[in-house]
Amino acid sequence: MKALAYGSDQNVGRKMGTVSKALELLDYFTKARPLIGLSDIARLADLNKATCFRLLTELSENGFVEQVGTSREYRLGPSVLRLAALREAQVPTRDAAMPVLQSLAQQTGETAHLSLLIADILRPLAHAYSAAHATKVMLEDTETLPFHATSSGLAVLAFQPEAFRNAVLAKPLAQLTSTTLTNPAALRARIAEVRGLGYAESRGGYESDVHSMAVPLFDALGRCSGALAVAALGTRMGEAQRRMIRYALLQAGTEITTLWGGTLPADIATLWRLAA
Amino acid sequence: MKALAYGSDQNVGRKMGTVSKALELLDYFTKARPLIGLSDIARLADLNKATCFRLLTELSENGFVEQVGTSREYRLGPSVLRLAALREAQVPTRDAAMPVLQSLAQQTGETAHLSLLIADILRPLAHAYSAAHATKVMLEDTETLPFHATSSGLAVLAFQPEAFRNAVLAKPLAQLTSTTLTNPAALRARIAEVRGLGYAESRGGYESDVHSMAVPLFDALGRCSGALAVAALGTRMGEAQRRMIRYALLQAGTEITTLWGGTLPADIATLWRLAA
DNA sequence: ACCAACGGTTCAAATAACAAACCGAAAGCC
DNA sequence: GGCTTTCGGTTTGTTATTTGAACCGTTGGT
């Protein structure tokens, strides 16, 4: 199993195959850092420059990265577009969820985002912003959502196999804000609570003034493979607002799970029906 | 440089790194064959089962493929979605072109498609169909566009560096229909002609009753990195129809190149302006 | 003119990939 | 039921690939 690595956690001492190393290089491209030079990416990945060069060359030969003319920096290549189109054609995920996500943002007047569990890491896949407020939560550059410190993370974690939860909680858990829960036992309790409620909530656990709520999403294989969340400034999160957002979330969550061909676990279905 | 391999061309005797082998596995997933078992894919890629298994495992650990529950077959994983979203955010390609593509299909009443030059291979990225005729050209399952036998291929080839053209024409060229041009010298003449016209045309070179026209597309780096084409049944391609399609193509081609931040080579810009 | 950092290259040494044979399970097929 | 084939997956010794450190030639800053 791939090392669970997030935050500032340096993934040192890992022992991984060449392919994983190459694929990991792709992960260093982010919205905030779309172009990376050879030396930079070698440093980031903690790889030898020669190794890194060979990997990048091979990625480039296959269109997964490409070099922009000047300064020879690398960026993601066009191959991913083709593969993504193919994946979406077979398992509509982003395209299917996007309209629901947008209407959720509009309906709640807050920022909505959808995350996917990819290779044991929770990553945001799409965002939708509302024009309702001048101040909104932006998360353009978030690359990884820590399981223990976000509502999406908790929502997903609550519906994973026990072994997965254990693996996550066994790793060191970053104290991101003053209110981040980092005690494994307390987190377990928290997760059990999420399971009982059918949705998760986080008050400033990731960023101190952001309050968010999230629901788990289920795919056609019955797995909980993602989460849908609404994030707002803590100051805007009154009781009425929370109730409104929760309601919209449960609706939208049901909708996306259905679009994905998934089915809610029976207990969750009941919980959500009651709350509606 | 990666071997130019298309059609039924078996890519035997190649000497490629582990990473390329792994990435090539991803190419065996198509719309027509979205799920593949271990033994199948090993046969397709002409790899040892153990090797193939290891590669697939590593791809799976990184979310590039995943196994569906029953029968343990593999399919493309969610990682590609994330990367594609990132790529589109930085270099809007498919999303930017899609509306133009659709309006081109609607405007011409025929099938329009956009292809991208990925790692020396021309691959269709998106299609748009028109509802105007009951019979239309379908190309859902086309995986690779042979340069010598399609209008898109000729359009792209005409604007590549000489070395690239040579590499393509040096390979054996498949005789796909009775009218497919396979003589390198004749093809060179054809390509020169395309250069002089600013667009390419193919009458039944790929499928015997399909007539298509294509224009090259240029990206922000000044490369010709794709083609835009309209394909119709040969029987519908009268002179008036050809003129209409050509006009719409030049318009749409200009538009997409502009959206991509590219600039037309001066001679082409002039040609297209004159034709409009 | 210097120096540092860049992208890229080289080559011996270390490591990871390879092929073949094997395993238990499931699916035909008599 | 029993025989055979094929499946996904594993193991092993051999082999070929990957790796890391040092080394180029350039570029850009001071």
Which of A26, A55, A94 minimises the CB distance to B81?
A: A94
**At B51, is the pLDDT very low, low, confident or very high (cuts 50, 70, 90)?**
confident
pLDDT tens by residue, A71-123: 688 999 999 999 999 999 999 999 999 999 999 999 999 999 999 999 899 99
Question: Is it the case that residue B223 has pLDDT exceeding 80?
Answer: yes
B161 touches strand D (CB under 7 A): no
Query: Which amino acid residue lies closest to nucleotide C7, measuring CA to C1'?
Result: A38
Residue A104 lies in a domain: yes
Query: Which is more confident, A54 or B122?
Result: B122
Residue A9 lies in a domain: no
Whether residue B29 sits in one domain with residue B151: no
**At B45, is the pLDDT very low, low, confident or very high (cuts 50, 70, 90)?**
confident
Whether residue B138 sits in one domain with residue B47: no
Residue A142 lies in a domain: yes
Q: Which domain holds residue A67?
A: 18-81
Query: Which is more confident, B20 or A11?
Result: B20
Tell me the C-alpha distance between A239 and B163, whole Å. Answer: 67
* DSSP code at position A199: S
Tell me the C-alpha distance between A160 and A189, whole Å. Answer: 15
Tell me the C-alpha distance between B157 and B192, whole Å. Answer: 10
Whether residue B100 sits in one domain with residue B226: yes
Residue A2 lies in a domain: no
What does DSSP say about strands B65-67 and B74-76: parallel, antiparallel, or unpaired? antiparallel
Inter-chain residue contact A59 with B23, CB threshold 8 Å: yes
Of A45, A61, A81, which residue is a domain's last? A81
Whether residue A129 sits in one domain with residue A46: no
Question: Is it the case that residue B174 has pLDDT exceeding 60?
Answer: yes
The confidence score (pLDDT) of residue A99 equals 98
Question: Is it the case that residue B139 has pLDDT exceeding 70?
Answer: yes
The confidence score (pLDDT) of residue B195 equals 96
Tell me the C-alpha distance between B145 and A183, whole Å. Answer: 56
Residue B123 lies in a domain: yes
Domain of A71: which CATH number?
A: 1.10.10.10
Q: Which nucleotides of D are covered by protein (CB under 7 A)?
A: 6-12, 17-22
Nearest nt to B73, CA vs C1'?
Answer: D8
Contact between residue B93 and residue B260 where contact means Cβ atoms under 8 Å apart: yes
The confidence score (pLDDT) of residue A70 equals 67
Question: Is it the case that residue A9 has pLDDT exceeding 70?
Answer: no
Which of B23, B55, B116 minimises the CB distance to A64?
A: B23
Domain of B153: which CATH number?
A: 3.30.450.40
Which of B119, B123, B126 minimises the CB distance to A62?
A: B119
Cα first-last separation, chain B: 39
The confidence score (pLDDT) of residue B39 equals 86
Query: Helix, strand, coil % (nearest 5) of chain B?
Result: 45, 15, 40
Whether residue A225 sits in one domain with residue A148: yes
Query: Which is more confident, B33 or B5?
Result: B33
The confidence score (pLDDT) of residue B70 equals 66
* DSSP code at position B235: G
Inter-chain residue contact B125 with A30, CB threshold 8 Å: no
The confidence score (pLDDT) of residue B5 equals 32
Mean pLDDT of chain B: 90
Whether residue A70 sits in one domain with residue A191: no
Of A32, A56, A81, which residue is a domain's last? A81
Nearest nt to B17, CA vs C1'?
Answer: D17
Of B27, B60, B81, which residue is a domain's last? B81
What domain count does chain B have? 2
CA proximity to B85, closest of A84, A102, A128, A105: A84
Residue B2 lies in a domain: no
Question: Is it the case that residue B90 has pLDDT exceeding 50?
Answer: yes
Between CA B73 and C1' C28 the distance (Å) reads: 20
Q: Which of residues 8-37 of A touch strand D (CB under 7 A)?
A: 18, 21
pLDDT tens by residue, A208-264: 999 999 999 999 989 999 999 999 999 999 999 999 999 999 999 999 999 999 999
Three-state DSSP class for residue A115? strand
Question: Is it the case that residue A12 has pLDDT exceeding 50?
Answer: no
Residue B7 lies in a domain: no
Contact between residue B228 and residue B104 where contact means Cβ atoms under 8 Å apart: yes
Whether residue A36 sits in one domain with residue A138: no
Question: Is it the case that residue A6 has pLDDT exceeding 60?
Answer: no
Contact between residue B81 and residue B63 where contact means Cβ atoms under 8 Å apart: no
Inter-chain residue contact A19 with B55, CB threshold 8 Å: yes
The confidence score (pLDDT) of residue B43 equals 86
Whether residue A95 sits in one domain with residue A75: no
| pLDDT over 70 percentage in chain A | 93
Question: Is it the case that residue B130 has pLDDT exceeding 70?
Answer: yes
Tell me the C-alpha distance between B203 and B206, whole Å. Answer: 8
Whether residue A236 sits in one domain with residue A110: yes
Residues of B in contact with A143 (CB under 8 A): none
CA proximity to B157, closest of B166, A41, A103: B166
Tokens of B51: 């090797």
CA proximity to A100, closest of A273, A243, A259, A218: A259
What does DSSP say about strands A74-76 and A111-118: parallel, antiparallel, or unpaired? unpaired
Between CA B70 and C1' D1 the distance (Å) reads: 27
Tokens of A120: 């044991």
Whether residue A111 sits in one domain with residue A25: no
Residues of B in contact with A2 (CB under 8 A): 61-62
Between CA A53 and C1' C9 the distance (Å) reads: 10
Whether residue B243 sits in one domain with residue B106: yes
Mean pLDDT of chain A: 90
**At B134, is the pLDDT very low, low, confident or very high (cuts 50, 70, 90)?**
confident
The confidence score (pLDDT) of residue B15 equals 60
A49 touches strand D (CB under 7 A): yes
Query: Which amino acid residue lies closest to nucleotide C18, measuring CA to C1'?
Result: B51
**Mean pLDDT within A128-148:** 90
Residue B34 lies in a domain: yes
Contact between residue A182 and residue A203 where contact means Cβ atoms under 8 Å apart: no
Query: Which amino acid residue lies closest to nucleotide D8, measuring CA to C1'?
Result: B38
CA proximity to A210, closest of A235, A182, A181, A189: A235
The confidence score (pLDDT) of residue B74 equals 93
Whether residue A28 sits in one domain with residue A115: no
**Mean pLDDT within B32-39:** 89
Query: Which is more confident, B78 or B18?
Result: B78
The confidence score (pLDDT) of residue B225 equals 96
The confidence score (pLDDT) of residue A169 equals 96
| pLDDT over 90 percentage in chain A | 74
The angle formed by the CA atoms of residues A209, A211 and A216, to the nearest 5 degrees, is 150
How many residues does the structure list for chain B?
Answer: 276
